[in-house]
A and B are shown apart, each in its own frame.
Chain A
Amino acid sequence: DAKTTQPTSMDCAEGRAANLPCNHSTISGNEYVYWYRQIHSQGPQYIIHGLKNNETNEMASLIITEDRKSSTLILPHATLRDTAVYYCIVRALNSNSGYALNFGKGTSLLVTP
């Protein structure tokens, strides 16, 4: 699976949009981009995933560049409850690539009042 690079930490004011970047320059054509987050002392929580089109759900939006070498997770109106570590993961959807998700260290997002 392609490797991802994320900033170690970010801050965001409550009510503002949080834009979390992820670089995955070695991504291949059959690999998807996934985002999970982990609130302190809890298990990771799935947020969203996509292949090449932008995606939106009730939690967030995922913007993938045209060359697919980077993406941005957008939390449109961040709340204090969004303070968490956010993981960007790239993987293919077939068993030949194994079943593991490689979480890395993620980005620690702090939402401030």
Chain B
Amino acid sequence: DTGVSQDPRHKITKRGQNVTFRCDPISEHNRLYWYRQTLGQGPEFLTYFQNEAQLEKSRLLSDRFSAERPKGSFSTLEIQRTEQGDSAMYLCASSIRLTGELFFGEGSRLTVL
């Protein structure tokens, strides 16, 4: 499968714990995006990488959230001191051009108890 891969697909954690999600984009795609989606809502933009550079961060990305893409390939999204409001689907997408045609992964569903 050469699509966008996300891991884990599901994560249940207790409030206050740290969690990390990984995204492996399509191999030749230099652009990588993180989105968050809560029940009944459309995906909301979190952050964007071009190669290893993080070029845009949403106001939704509080200081408890950090994203990295150290070698311009895979990316990680870490949430520290999780809160119940962080429960959501975290979606990763990649693209090769700035045309808006994003390829999304299946998402990582986070449940904070």
Which residues of A are at the interface with B, using a C-beta cutoff of 8 A? 32, 34, 36, 38, 41-46, 49, 85, 87, 89, 91, 93-95, 98-106
B44 to chain A, nearest CB (A): 7
Whether A106 and B42, one on each chain, are in contact in the complex, defined by CB atoms closer than 8 angstroms, is yes
- Which of B11-19, B63-71, B72-80, B93-101 forms part of the interface with chain A? B93-101
Contacting B102 at CB < 8 Å: which of A42, A94, A101, A105?
A101
In this complex, what residue of A is CB-closest to B50? Answer: A99
B33 on the A face (CB < 8 A): yes
Residues in A with CB closer than 8 Å to B40 are 105
Decide: B100 and A34 in contact? CB cutoff 8 A.
yes
The answer to whether the Cβ of B21 comes within 8 Å of any Cβ in the partner chain is: no
Secondary structure dominating the interface of A: loop
Q: Is the CB of A99 within 8 A of B43?
A: no
Query: Can you spell out 5 A-B residue pairs with CB atoms less than 8 angstroms apart?
Result: A46-B102, A49-B100, A98-B56, A101-B102, A103-B44
- In the bound complex, do residue B45 and residue A101 qualify as a contact, i.e. CB atoms below 8 Å apart? yes
- Bound form: Cα–Cα A11–B86 in Å: 33
Binding site for A on B (CB under 8 A): 4, 31, 33, 40-45, 48, 55-56, 58, 91, 93, 98-107
A104 engages B100 (CB within 8 Å): no
Q: Beyond A42-B106, A103-B44, is A49–B101 a contact (Cβ under 8 Å)?
A: yes
The interface centre, meaning the residue of B41, B58, B93, B102 with most chain A CB atoms within 10 A of its CB, is: B102
Complex contact A105–B42 (CB within 8 A): yes
- Given A43-B105, A98-B56, A99-B56, are A105 and B99 neighbors across the interface (CB < 8 Å)? no
In the complex, the answer to whether A45 meets B45 with C-beta atoms within 8 Å is no
Residues on B with C-beta less than 8 A from A85 are 42
Q: In the bound complex, what is the Cα–Cα distance between A98 and B50 (angstroms)?
A: 12
Report whether B105 and A89 are in contact in the complex, using a CB–CB cutoff of 8 Å: no
A49 to B99, CA, bound (A): 9
